[in-house]
Structure 1
Amino acid sequence: MTKLATYRRGGEIRIGIVHGPDDRLFDLAAAAGRAGDGAHPFGSMLDLIDAGPAGLDRARRLFDDRGRDEDLSAELRDVELLAPVPEPRQMRDGMSFETHIRQSGRGAMHLAAGDDAEARARIDAEPLPPLADVYRQMPIYYITNRLIVRGPNTTVRWPRYSRVMDYELEFGIFLSRTGTDISASAARDHVFGYTIFNDFSARDQQMREMAGRLGPAKGKSFDGANVLGPWIVTPDEIGDPYDLAMTARVNGETRCTNRTRDMLFSFEEIIAHMSRDETLFAGEFIGSGTVGNGCGLETGRFLEHGDEIELEVERIGVLRNRVERQN
């Protein structure tokens, strides 16, 4: 198995296998119907996840048997690609990259200083703060809004209450199984696949509200803020998930190049921590947190009206979106 996508065609939401040079979608439900399989798990990506390894095996066999039937595939350009799971069962996002954590602290001070050039110069003259011990003691994460997910090629509307809009280059996993107290050694079997995550952020709002020691809330919760895609890639096609190139581009200009290898905790360790005395459910999404230099808060270069953002992760693909201010 390789890439699995959710898409809209002719008003209907379908799931399919991405094939060719990532430009065609094989309709799993239609293929199952042609094969006389009326009780198939291909109504949605969550149905396929819930079907477990047997569901993926059925999808593989269908593609092997029917993949050459031209009318069972659609051109990617002729459909609307959606988030691979348009409504995850839960969304949790981490703080897993040391460089991002340390540089974001400086970025927050820059935002607080505003246009005060002297204050900003004093901030830059100081060395980066050390990483707080808690980040090495346990994976740090928050639960975000699973109901505001959007997919690739969508336009994200800038929240009216914010003047500072930012992108965040992340990747993440969907869980394949439900479980509690999952050991790190067993956690790899709970990974259904990998995707890209753009955690759009209203930075000025985030800075204000997190001074209250809760959040993020409206800094990251507005319609379209959580963007996933372009599809899910199953683990057998990823290889080592901790040695993938990550790139962010804005209007075609490269803003960040980095790799996944610098995570403070692996996804397996994160799953083990999250599942302590708490059930994690198949179909949940877990984000890696932002890679070092993967957002404007670190570099001082935020988004403008009409900017087009491309987040690319090796072996997964490219997630493209546009941001626009609202009147």
Structure 2
Amino acid sequence: MKLATFERAGQRHIGALLADEATLSDFTASEPAAPHFRDMLALIDNGAAALEAARELVRKPKEKVRRAEVRLLAPLPEPRQMRDFLCFEQHIRQARSNRYLFGQGEKLDPATIELPPVWYEQPIYYKCNRFSVIGTETDVQWPRYCEMLDYELEFGAILGTGGKNIRREDARGHIFGYCIFNDVSARDAQMREMPGQLGPAKGKDFDTGNILGPWLVTADEIPDPYRLTMVARVNGEEWSRGNSATMGHSFEDILAHVSNEETLYPGEFFGSGTVGNGCGLEFGRFLKDGDVVELEIEGLGILRNRMVRQGRG
């Protein structure tokens, strides 16, 4: 299923995209008293029975609404936790080769850049601001302190069942579904703060900086998440193309590592990190006021947002 959170008549509903992709089955309107259709977290929390009730409303919708008549929100507007990882070696090499753009050394050949051994030994991550999440077709408010704004082409897994000390061989069964993630980055702020040995901080943390969507695709529809074509376009021009097959650490690796002596909960989000070739920094290109960024991942849809300087309507 392609599960969606949307605004209808001023109220937040959840539902699923139907086969024509122009119509939604509105779960909330169909069964307004059902606690598992209150929001996406409630659907996830209520497990297999709630998911089957949702599937039945896709097979036999009770209340339908045209997609054009609602406003899609992030499928999970407030994840319980957000972690973003650094799983693509090509991205790291190409991004670091361009630090000279920020007055940090000279331009380097990406092939000569050495990654620290720990990157190969375990997944590396930071925690995002889970309160700054938006969905498709919502404007990104360009932070006033930033001159070099960038997109990042990623996808993420949403946890369906929690756990502690999850075994790698069991980890796939904990994943509820997948969605596209645009980890919008204030590159000049990020490069200024990272030499301080912590972060990223204001390079990532600003309102509207985390974009999820356009919907949440249940795991059964993505049998192999490590063979997905990933493309980014700016104003219709292709800037990025990659494939999830180049992911150095899988979501199974991620869940096994993060759950080591730490309890994870349903509704947590885990980002893949930027695919190789997946951001402007890798090519020395940055966004402009009014640019429209589209991220498309095979099977997951298209996530579309406009970058807007403060003060512009």
Query: What TM-score does the superposition give when structure 2 sets the normalisation length?
Result: 0.96
> Which residue of the partner structure matches residue 55 of structure 1?
50
> Which residue of the partner structure matches residue 37 of structure 2?
42
C-alpha change, 1:51 and 1:158, in structure 2 (3 Å) is same
C-alpha change, 1:294 and 1:304, in structure 2 (3 Å) is same
C-alpha change, 1:124 and 1:39, in structure 2 (3 Å) is closer
**CA offset at residue 131 of structure 1?**
2.8
Deviates more, 1:16-25 or 1:198-207: 16-25
Distance (Å, rounded) in 2 between the aligned partners of 1:138 and 1:125 = 25
Give deviations 1:104-149, integer Å, cap 9, x for gaps.
1112232225xxxxx7xx5246854133221110000000100010
**CA offset at residue 49 of structure 1?**
0.3
> Which residue of the partner structure matches residue 217 of structure 1?
201
**Matched position secondary structure for 1:46:** helix
Tell me, yes or no, if structure 1 residue 78 matches structure 2 residue 73: no
Structure 1 segments unaligned to the other structure (5+ residues): 114-118
Structure 2 segments unaligned to the other structure (5+ residues): none
**CA offset at residue 151 of structure 1?**
0.6
Contact between 1:32 and 1:62, CA under 8 Å: does it hold in 2? no
Contact between 2:74 and 2:211, CA under 8 Å: does it hold in 1? yes
> Which residue of the partner structure matches residue 112 of structure 1?
103
Deviates more, 1:99-108 or 1:267-276: 99-108
**CA offset at residue 326 of structure 1?**
1.5
Contact between 1:198 and 1:227, CA under 8 Å: does it hold in 2? yes
> Which residue of the partner structure matches residue 88 of structure 2?
97
> Which residue of the partner structure matches residue 293 of structure 1?
277
> Which residue of the partner structure matches residue 116 of structure 1?
none
Contact between 1:103 and 1:128, CA under 8 Å: does it hold in 2? no
**Matched position secondary structure for 2:98:** helix
Distance (Å, rounded) in 2 between the aligned partners of 1:144 and 1:63 = 33
**CA offset at residue 40 of structure 1?**
4.0
Distance (Å, rounded) in 1 between the aligned partners of 2:58 and 2:190 = 45
Distance (Å, rounded) in 2 between the aligned partners of 1:156 and 1:126 = 30
Distance (Å, rounded) in 1 between the aligned partners of 2:275 and 2:244 = 7
**Matched position secondary structure for 1:13:** strand
Distance (Å, rounded) in 2 between the aligned partners of 1:277 and 1:166 = 35
C-alpha change, 1:31 and 1:127, in structure 2 (3 Å) is closer
Distance (Å, rounded) in 2 between the aligned partners of 1:51 and 1:80 = 25
Tell me, yes or no, if structure 1 residue 284 matches structure 2 residue 284: no
**CA offset at residue 63 of structure 1?**
2.6
C-alpha change, 1:125 and 1:246, in structure 2 (3 Å) is closer
Code of the aligned partner of 1:47:
A
- Alpha-carbon RMSD across the aligned residues, in angstroms, is 1.4
Code of the aligned partner of 1:45:
M
**CA offset at residue 62 of structure 1?**
2.7
Distance (Å, rounded) in 1 between the aligned partners of 2:265 and 2:207 = 24
Deviates more, 1:18-27 or 1:95-104: 18-27
Give 1 or 2 for the bigger CA radius of gyration. 1
How many corresponding residue pairs? 311
> Which residue of the partner structure matches residue 30 of structure 2?
31
Distance (Å, rounded) in 2 between the aligned partners of 1:24 and 1:219 = 37
Distance (Å, rounded) in 2 between the aligned partners of 1:25 and 1:126 = 45
**CA offset at residue 236 of structure 1?**
1.1
Distance (Å, rounded) in 2 between the aligned partners of 1:126 and 1:302 = 19
Contact between 2:85 and 2:271, CA under 8 Å: does it hold in 1? yes
**Matched position secondary structure for 2:36:** coil
> Which residue of the partner structure matches residue 199 of structure 1?
183
Code of the aligned partner of 2:265:
F
